[in-house]
Structure 1
Amino acid sequence: MTDEDILLLYSIENLRDIKEHFDQKVPLMPFHMLRLLLLPAIVIIGHTYLERSVDAAEKNATLSPSQQQSMQAARQKAAWKKRRIIFNNDGNEPVYSLKEATPQALLDVRTSPLKGSQVDSIFYCTWSSGFSYFTHDTKVGNVFTETANKLSNNKTAELIKNGHDPLTVMSDWCKENDVELFWSFRMNDTHDASSAWYGPLLFPPLKKEHPEWLVGSAKEKPKNGRWTAVDFTHEEICDLAFQYVEEVCRNYDVDGVELDFFRHLNYFKRVSWGEPAGDLELSRLNDLMRRIRTMADEVGHQRGRPILIAIRVPDSVEYARVLGLDVETWLKEDLVDIMTVTGYFRLNPWKESVELGHKYQVPVYAGLSESRQKDQRARKVYASTEGFRGRAMNAWSQGIDGIYLFNSFNPRHPLWRELGDPTRLQSLPKVYFTSARGYASVNSWWKKGSSFMNRDILTPDHPRVVRPGKSVSVTLPVGENPVETGATLNLKVRFKALPQNKEELIVKLNGEVVPLHAGEEHFLSGKIKPGIVRTGENQIEFTLASAAALPVVVEDLQLWINYAE
């Protein structure tokens, strides 16, 4: 009979009884002779098992009600601290950018120049691409030490060997400079699915050893998302995700952990192959979130300072739920302290996310990612300093609690000293447009994703056709009142081809006709009176006056606001 057989035969209560009899040398009854014969093995195994059970129980013991209330109050206070700008750093510096493996070399790339800026928080990602790969000194996952191809400069291993764990280096700098630090964990990064040179190099041992844990394969690619995503239906994946977070919470001096669900938005095989998440899928991530919250509160209690939990998620509860992310349940159950919304796309006006988060006393941050508009002319505008100012001003005007920049890494750019202050932004030149990210990626993670779109988008990848007899109206949010600031305004409209007769095209802004004139190629533009534009939603209407006019395709809409020097 094996040790496992014995443990199966006897419950924990029986083992305790037997051990007590054995320790006190109390004679056992005859019908216990079988147990008596096995007693030495049972006692040794049982005693060890009990000790391990007690250790595990102590490690995972829940806090008392008063301790929970105290921790909740501490979390609530910390959650609402000032975060003008959150800088998400993808942690590429150790892999690509260092000339030498020293803390200062690491800090100089993206961090040290932020001193004195409006960046109050750094969310530092230690690679986590793909799932299980990290650039901190993990014992649960794998340290990313690959040096092939363009990874030849990877100094992660050397940094760790020399005692300069990148996450610790960041933590130390943040403490010295009164900047909050979150460890950012990309929950299911799938850069390893890329056909580019780096794809196979990012494919971790975990996925090679357990292809059954993936949502697809290189030969059988799913309908939604990417085939290298791990499937959180498997409890092993949920356990690993929990252990990755726990390891950081117990071993690093971080103020919080960000669970970045936007990298990437494929979590279940069922969803990847075209079916919406069901109860099983929702329960998997709900349970994981509960485990993480419980553990983080326990560690926070032990160290005397809370560990906050932040999430980065889509800005539609309904869309997120289809993917298996039960965001409102997480908010309702107090599993989340901070919420950042949007990434590859934005589905709703900012105010809807603000209302959702504030309903559950959770601050909400506007995620501004880099433009990925394929049209270069439009992208140049969307990615401009003026473009970021307009995006930030719109978010501030709708009640957002701070600005979160993703994939912006130049620490010397003036944006780090502008976007976190709406008063300062008020008098700076801006351009407003409907979307910096375009429309293309909305359907990448769920083929019907565009059905959740709840705002107007007019971009080169999502143009609008104006036909005779039917007006086209586009909503353009503007985050300021130009009358109050003495601004000059210029409306620019881009067409696939200019109307043959410009007089036949009537453009109205909030009901008033705006005279437009030929500008740069494919553009009509015109100055408008500041009093026409209002803070919030502005309606721009296109009409062809003649029934004989040919349809025109409108590709872009830009409102430029400038101020006297």
Structure 2
Amino acid sequence: MIRLPLMIATLFALLVIEIGPTRADELLSLDQLRAARKEAARRERRIIFNNDGNEPIYLCRDTTPEGLLSHRTTPLADTHVDTIFYCTWSSGFGMFTHDTKVGHVFKTKEDLFSKNMIDKMLAAGTDPLKVMADFGKQNDIEIFWSFRMNDTHDAGLSGYGPVMLRANPLKLEHPDWLIGTPKQRPKFGGWSAVDYGRPEIRELAIQYVEEVCQNYDVNGIELDFFRHPVFFKRAAQSGTPCTEEERTLMTEMVRRIRKVTEEEGQKRGSPILLTVRVPDSVPYGRDSGLDIETWLSEGLIDMMTVSGYYRLSPWEDSVALGNKYDVPVYPSLDESRVRDPAAKKARMTVEAYRGRALAARSAGMAGLNLFNSFNPHAAIWRELGDSELIAKKDHDYFASIRGVGSAAGGALPHRGYQKVATLNPKAPLKLSGKDPATVSFYTGVDYQKLDTTESPEIKLLLQFDQEVPKGVRAELNGTKLEPSTAEEGWLACAVDPAQLKRNKNEVTVALLDKDASVKWTDLRCTVRWNDAP
């Protein structure tokens, strides 16, 4: 079934071919383009597959398009993936794996990158971004070019950091365009980040986008501001929030990028969408230099992905912001990076991803954006786009998937902006007989209204820093729970499906012994169906 936005774009393209005007914008006015863009933004995107595009660097063994696609892309056909965000390296700033003339191609074969095939692939006519765009058209999957605005993997002083830096002519030739040096590091952020206070950097960012819009038939551009969220030298070196002047510089750059997408969209006769990945907190974004609400209010962006390796706000906050400006919002479901191995493993299961998907969609998210999940054969690509399906499969909820979280290379400290639970073994809550603690977790199903003759078995599991303590009182949404058994060090409480609320649930734990004290280390809610896969 052909989706409506795709039909609109196709009709415009056919008219251009049939009528053959000398200028496409004689056919497609700016108002028409914007109307088509609004429709395209509303296209169903059950799952966005975010591919960091490093197959040519690490995985490809030949120069063929088929070889490139085989690693992460071909198996996605006929799954729930409706959109692919494809990053052509951009690690660090100015380095790409598409055929750029404005930036530099990442051709180094030094050390970890000894199997880098990109120079041979481009010489053979296999441009990864063109290959992806062609695949998308053949399989009715949108392709967005993803541009990491300030990737700082090259800030490391060992491993691949120095190798990546040596491969980057821009940073080597213009060290004054960076926010620091290896010996004079900023108070936050990777020292190799570029300074968007420099007009040269902002101009280059615009030119990189313009080159892709002119040369590649992509459906949209993603500006990934979460990889990594440090942008201004003054702020990073002083350790202070960004100023209005710095936010204005960044907003003006986004305005110019929007203008580029509109001008090139008029030329091609179909819209080029613009989306961003940003922190899920307007105040934190502002203090990082990103005036997200101004971008939304001015119509500069069509879609928005929120969050990353740390999460600051309930999903509902971001959904409400998007709804205010009629912009679809997607959650970035990054992999867990809590530091306790067992806790991390539990959060990386298919059951945990089902629970995350259910909670995000129930909060009003337009779809799902999965970051750093690259196995195209995994069950998640064939399940997570259907909430009714996974509601009747085993799934897990946690108070926190990402814990306190951190950005690689560092960023503006975010703990003061964090409004969601961070409970995990590395961020426990202290409990005493005098001081109970309350934690919220979010579900995505009204289990009483499911179209099924059976009810799932639901358990609330509580973990502490010692053997299950005696005299624990647990309440779920104000109702006392009766502890049943200890399961592998967890205190298990049976939950009637009617006790769970859809979306936010509160758990309060107290100790009956006034002199006792323990640390509450984790919370997990398991939903199990008989014979469910």
TM-score (norm: length of structure 2): 0.91
**What amino acid is aligned across from residue 190 of structure 1 in structure 2?**
T
Aligned to 1:506: 473
- Inter-CA distance 487–518: structure 2 relative to 1 (3 Å threshold): closer
**Residues 283 and 299 from structure 1, CA distance in 2 versus in 1: closer, same or farther, beyond 3 angstroms?**
same
1:234 corresponds to 2:201: no
| 1:447 Cα offset (Å) | 5.0
Of the two, which has the highest radius of gyration?
1
Matched residue, 2:308: 343
2:387 match: 422
In the alignment, is residue 166 of structure 1 matched against residue 125 of structure 2?
no
Query: Is the partner of 1:347 in helix, strand or coil?
Result: coil
Tell me whether 1:183 sits opposite 2:145 in the alignment.
yes
Post-superposition offset of 1:82? 0.8
| Contact 1:270–1:276 (CA under 8 A) maintained in structure 2 | no
Q: For 2:297, which of 332, 348, 371 is the aligned residue?
A: 332
Instruction: Return the alpha-carbon distance in structure 2 between the equivalents of residues 160 and 321 of structure 1.
Output: 40
Displacement after TM superposition at 1:104 (Å): 0.4
Q: What is the aligned partner in structure 2 of residue 449 from structure 1? A: 414
Q: Does residue 438 of structure 2 align to residue 473 of structure 1?
A: yes
Q: CA deviation at 1:280?
A: 2.1
**SS of structure 1 residue aligned to 2:230:** coil
Of 31, 34, 39, 1:69 maps to: 31
Structure 2 residue matching 1:379: 3-state secondary structure: helix
* Structure 2: unaligned runs, 5 residues or longer: 1-22
Q: What is the count of residue pairs matched by the alignment?
A: 501
Letter in 2 for 1:559: C
User: Which piece of structure 1 moves more, 248-257 or 517-526?
Assistant: 517-526
Verify the 8 A CA contact 1:442 1:450 in the aligned structure 2: no
Of all paired residues, the percent bearing the same amino acid is: 45
1:495 to 464, 478, 481: 464
Contact 2:155 2:409 in 1 (8 A): no
Aligned equivalents of 2:448 and 2:105: distance in 1?
Answer: 56
Contact 2:468 2:486 in 1 (8 A): no
Q: Aligned with 1:525: secondary structure? A: strand
The structural deviation recorded for 1:425 is 1.5
Task: State the alpha-carbon separation in 2 of the partners of residues 512 and 443 from structure 1.
Answer: 41
User: 2:161 is matched with which residue?
Assistant: 199
In structure 1, C-alpha distance between the alignment counterparts of 2:337 and 2:36, rounded to whole Å: 39
Amino acid at match of 2:352: G
Q: CA deviation at 1:513?
A: 2.1
Q: Residue type of the partner of 1:331?
A: L
Select 2:447's aligned residue among 477, 482, 487: 482
Q: Which residue of the partner structure matches residue 94 of structure 1?
A: 56
Displacement after TM superposition at 1:266 (Å): 0.4
Scaled by the length of structure 1, the TM-score of the pair is 0.86
* Partner SS, residue 474 of structure 2: strand
For the residue of structure 1 that corresponds to 2:400, the secondary structure is coil
* Alignment deviations for residues 362-416 of structure 1 (CA, whole Å, 9 cap, x no partner): 1111110011111011001111100011011000101100000000000000100
Quote how far apart the aligned CAs of 1:182 are.
0.3
Give the Cα–Cα distance (whole angstroms) in 1 for the partners of residues 475 and 422 of structure 2: 18
> Using CA pairs below 8 Å that are at least 6 residues apart, which structure has the higher relative contact order?
2
Measure the CA separation in 1 of the matches of 2:331 and 2:386. 14
Deviation at 1:435, TM superposition (A): 1.8
Offset from partner CA, 1:399-452 (integer Å, 9 cap, x none): 100000000000000100111111111101110002211103179745541111
Q: d(CA) in 1 for partners of 2:71 and 2:421?
A: 38
Conservation of the 8 A alpha-carbon contact between 2:468 and 2:490: no
Deviations 1:45-96 (A, max 9, x none): xxxxxxxxxxxxxxxx9x89x9221111111011101111000000010100
Alignment RMSD, CA only? 1.7
1:140-539, aligned counterparts within 5 Å? 140-203=102-165, 204-273=168-237, 274-441=239-406, 445-446=410-411, 448-485=413-450, 486-500=455-469, 502=470, 504-539=471-506
Match of 1:548 among 492, 515, 518: 515
**Change over 3 Å in CA distance of 1:205–1:249 after alignment to 2:** same
Q: Which runs of 5+ in 1 are unaligned?
A: 1-60
Q: How far has the Cα of 1:277 moved from its partner?
A: 0.9
Give yes or no for contact 1:443–1:449 (8 Å, CA) kept in 2.
no
- Equivalent position SS for 1:343: coil
* Distance 1:396-1:452 versus aligned 2 partners, 3 A rule: same
